[in-house]
Amino acid sequence: PTRHYEYKAFGVLENFPPDLPADLYMNLNYRRMGWIC
């Protein structure tokens, strides 16, 4: 992933519940990006 994408991902992560594991979110977000691209 590009640095720009990482920044965007963390920006969205702030809107998620604090109890959501960052690793889980990044994993799901990465897989979703695979479908988009």
Domain that holds residue 26: 3-36
Number of domains present in the structure of the chain: 1
Q: What is the pLDDT of residue 26?
A: 74
Helices (H), ranges, 1-37: 3-13, 22-36
Q: What is the pLDDT of residue 24?
A: 75
Q: Give the rounded distance of the alpha carbon of 6 from its chain centre.
A: 7
Q: What is the pLDDT of residues 1-37, one digit of tens each?
A: 555 555 555 555 555 556 666 777 777 777 766 665 5
